[in-house]
Amino acid sequence: MKKYLTRSYTDLTKEENFLSETLFHNANGYIGVRGCLEEGVLGGADTMRGTYINGFYDIIPMKQAEMLCNFVDKKETMLNVADTMTVNCVVDGEILDLLTGRVIKHTRTLDMDKGITKREVIWEAPSGKQIEITSVRMTSFEELSLFSIEYTVKALNFEGDIRIISVHNPDVTNYSDPSDPRLAAESMRNLSVKDIYADGASSIAIAETSVSGLRVCSLVHHAFMAFGGASVKDETTDILGKQGVFTGNARLTKGGSVTLEKICLFTDSVRAREPAGRAVRILDTVLSNGLNYYYKKQEAYLTAFWENCEMEIDGDADMNSAVTFNMYELLQSAAKDSYASIAAKGLSGEGYEGHYFWDTETFILPFFTLTNPALSKMLLRYRYSTLEKARENAGLLGHQKGALFPWRTITGTECSGYFVSGSAAYHINADIAYAYVNYYITTGDLDFMREAGMEVLLETSRLWTDLGCYNENGDFVLNVVTGPDEYTCMVNNNYYTNVAAKYNLCWTLKIHRLLKEAGMLGNLDERLGITDEELASFGKAAEAMLLPYDARLGINPQDDSFLSKPVWDLTKTPKDHFPLLLHYHPLHLYRYQVCKQADTVLSYFMFENEQPRDVMMKSYEYYEKITTHDSSLSTCVFSIVASRLGMKEKAYAYFGDSAKLDLLNTHSNSMHGIHTANMGGCYMAIVNGFAGLRVTEEGISLSPSLPKDWNGYKFKFVYRDRRLKVAIDQDAVTVELLTGDDLTIRIFGKQVELTKKQEKRIQMEE
């Protein structure tokens, strides 16, 4: 089944333009290019024209009204590094502008099999001359520095002259919106062009950041060709001020066309000592191979990607397309080297300034751990590389030992100015630890746990024992923290944080024991200062961890004080007052029982064995009434837990809200970039929710259900060097071991033996 997304429109509204820039962006985990119109829009307005490099940043001031001890006063921010997408077209003196003349056709397509975006336009100039424009873009998975455009103009009803003007502009700024806390408040000039020069058909620019001292090179090479009787008259590459400008003149015959091939390369000093020299060397290789070589490599890369993770929904074509789109966007967002991670908006826009949150480990890594564990391992290794800065961060917040990972960051430095819902969200430590454990359980890679995982688990556990204390009842308590719900901050004993910390502590002991039993500890105890007394303290804290429970309601309170607050009546809140964070002061929100997103409910997905089913059910129903889902991380979680509690209709309703969030722009901010974590959550809602997949120490189990609007669904995943395929229809669940050694799994609680290339079909249960 072909995988593509198509949108057609002839009216260029602000909303459609912004959203299409996001949906049709090109990215490969290193570079991301917004899907902006090559010719731009009138006056440059109503557009977020950006190209980004993952992990490339500058440092800007963060203003604090009162600069108290160790408050964050600066932050890292992802930069718009250059505009290499601009191509202008002049037909017999008339400039292509979609806001003048007549747009007869405007179609944009994302081809997820080939890894390209295609734009097709038929435009009639005020004079009546009609041209057809076809633009094909690609960010290469084979050569991560490469972004290419093939821009073709065809004369439909005339013969005349055409001029193509292609711009390479390294003198750019970021987008800003002071009214939205999810964007930068002001647009600062963080890059200065140090040099720009022409070399034959290429222009090469070197820019440097204002504070971080990082350098970026953007190189653009042009080839101009004529077809169908058209002829090239002349072409030039010039440096005009701080811009490289290519101009190609040609004569078009009726039905004839010209094509501009634009090879754009990006390199940076995070990854290369001399970015310009590296860019030139890459150009030689790219030109030697030819663009068609990279198209073929792109398709082959994606064939392998889909082979491991392909998912298909039978009976709902729109939902099938949405789920496919979400998985493809996760691939585009994930760093493919050890210098970066996955930002909240991927590389599709400037929302959240390119920062990495807990989103990566909690919502996105599970997808890669089940489909591409090597990539998951690389992303975990990057987080490990920031451990020393996490130790420093813990010290700044007054801790005597351990590490505290930052709430939002690029290099590992805390970039959250509002510590109440940022730095105080200590649960990020347990979220990261959970990702390492999940990776180990799924892969069995004990070598990596010795290399990196054990140290991360150790330092996060040390933080919990430094943060917590024992109360008069002998309970281990964690005070003054913020859980996942950002509408309830700075509380004692947030249930999610406490149960996650308990899991963190327990698995630190388990991994240490496994390494010891395997004879793999080596000098770890000595190097990391691990003692028997400290390990015993972890076990004691975990066993005594307070997990709030209210016997009257039979639920887990979100924290010690949550149930003492009045309940916010969501039914009486005006619809235009959502999200609440943009309309009510934080202190006002903190005084009510109202949730931005799943908090305690999330814990029931991640740590379901800690509570009996009836407690989880009552808690779910309680929190459902007071959760706004203002966070994109919420509905997918409510869907998963509803599936596990047997509430099929609710599970599907919440899933639908999650799956199409960006395609339908349901949160009204997809124009600023995709919601990568929600996309990972959408995957989990199917695999861990509907299909009931659980990967634990004991192995794999499945307890599938089928949404009533579907005829069936199937998916593939990887487990301990094996690849499996699961198919669910109205009658049965079918499991096939595609590669790897024989395996025993559980389906509906019953053991099933799998041998390679042999399907096992088990009847569905009610």
Q: What is the pLDDT of residues 407-423, one digit of tens each?
A: 999 999 999 989 999 99
- pLDDT (0 to 100) of residue 44: 56
Give the pLDDT confidence of 129-172 residue by residue, as tens digits: 999 999 999 999 999 999 999 999 999 999 999 999 999 999 99
> Phi then psi for 416, rounded to 5 degrees?
-95, 120
Judgement on whether residues 173 and 150 belong to the same structural domain of the protein = yes
Considering only CA atoms, which of 45, 20, 270 is closest in space to residue 175? 45
Q: What is the largest CA-CA distance in the chain?
A: 90
Task: Please check the confidence at residue 212 and state whether its pLDDT lies above 90.
Answer: yes
| Average pLDDT in the chain | 95
Tell me, what's the pLDDT at 1? 76
Give the mean model confidence (pLDDT) for residues 712-736: 97
Q: Which domain holds residue 16?
A: 4-283
Residues 676, 599 share a domain = no
Q: Percent of the chain scored above 90 by pLDDT?
A: 91
What does the pLDDT read at residue 14? 81
pLDDT digits (tens, 9 = 90+) for 596-643: 999 999 999 999 999 999 999 999 999 999 999 999 999 999 999 999
pLDDT of residue 46: 74
Residues 17 and 111 in one domain: yes
Calpha distance 489→283 (Å, rounded): 51
Query: Is residue 391 in a domain?
Result: no
Q: Which of 86, 118, 146, 115 is nearest to 289 (CA)?
A: 146
Q: What CATH number corresponds to the domain at position 445?
A: 1.50.10.10
The confidence score (pLDDT) of residue 175 equals 86
Residue 445 and residue 579 share a domain: yes
Domain check: are 622 and 673 in the same one? no
Please indicate, yes or no, whether residues 275 and 322 belong to a single structural domain of this protein. Answer: no
| Residue 388 annotated to the active site | no
Considering the candidates 143, 350, 486, 624, report the single residue annotated as catalytic. 486
Q: What is the pLDDT of residues 110-119, one digit of tens each?
A: 999 999 999 9
User: Burial code of 339-356, b = ≥16 C-beta within 10 A, e = fewer?
Assistant: bbbbbbbbbbbbbbbbbb
260 pLDDT band (50/70/90 cuts)? very high
Q: 574 with 533, same domain?
A: yes
Same domain, 698 and 605: no
Structure-block tokens of residue 710: 């579907």
pLDDT at 35 over 70: yes
Question: What pTM does this model have?
Answer: 0.96
pLDDT at 182: 56
Q: What is the DSSP string of 114-156?
A: TTEEEEEEEEE-TTS-EEEEEEEEEE-SSSTTEEEEEEEEEES
According to the model, what pLDDT value does residue 294 have? 98
What confidence tier does 10 reach under pLDDT thresholds 50, 70, 90?
confident
Angle in degrees, CA 418, 424, 429, rounded to 5: 125
Q: What pLDDT is recorded for position 765?
A: 85
Q: Is residue 63 part of a domain?
A: yes
Number of domains in the chain: 3
Amino acid letter for position 166: S
pLDDT at 656: 87
